[in-house]
């Protein structure tokens, strides 16, 4: 089953959700701002994406600019920062089995479908 880490206020996330709905595939919506991924879950997502935790951080968010910009944090510290401030997590993220994609641009969804 596909999981989408979703923020309804984000147009890219809403677009990804529409693509999933139209695909006919079974999926689960996780509003990650309310149901924050645990450290292990976020670590697994980063691994499936094949990126570093810092690459998953939204650098345009106010909390990033105020608290983290210019800081040299370890991977575990970035994961902890995203768990503490889930708005920092890039979106939307789609996860299926051993593969995950950040659906920016939205065409990346098809890599998972």
Rounded to whole angstroms, the Cα distance separating 11 from 9 reads 7
Mean pLDDT score of the chain, rounded to an integer? 95
Entry pTM: 0.92
Q: What are the domain boundaries of the chain?
A: 2-111
Residue of 7, 8, 10, 109 marked active site: 10
CA distance 113 to 110: 5
Indicate if 15 belongs to the active site.
no
Give the residue with greater pLDDT, 53 vs 108: 53
CATH 3.40.1170.10 is right for the domain spanning 2-111: no
pLDDT band at 106 (very low <50, low <70, confident <90, very high): confident
């Amino acid at each position: 089953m596909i999981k989408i880490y979703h923020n309804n206020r984000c147009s890219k996330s809403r677009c990804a959700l529409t693509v999933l709905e139209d695909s006919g595939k079974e999926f689960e919506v996780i509003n990650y701002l309310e149901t924050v991924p645990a450290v292990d879950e976020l670590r697994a997502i980063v691994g499936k994406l094949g990126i570093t935790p810092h690459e998953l951080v939204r650098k345009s968010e106010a909390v990033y600019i105020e608290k983290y910009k210019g800081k040299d944090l370890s991977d575990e510290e970035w994961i902890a920062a995203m768990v503490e401030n889930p708005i920092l997590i890039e979106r939307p993220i789609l996860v299926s089995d051993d593969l995950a994609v950040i659906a920016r641009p939205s065409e990346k969804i098809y890599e998972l479908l």
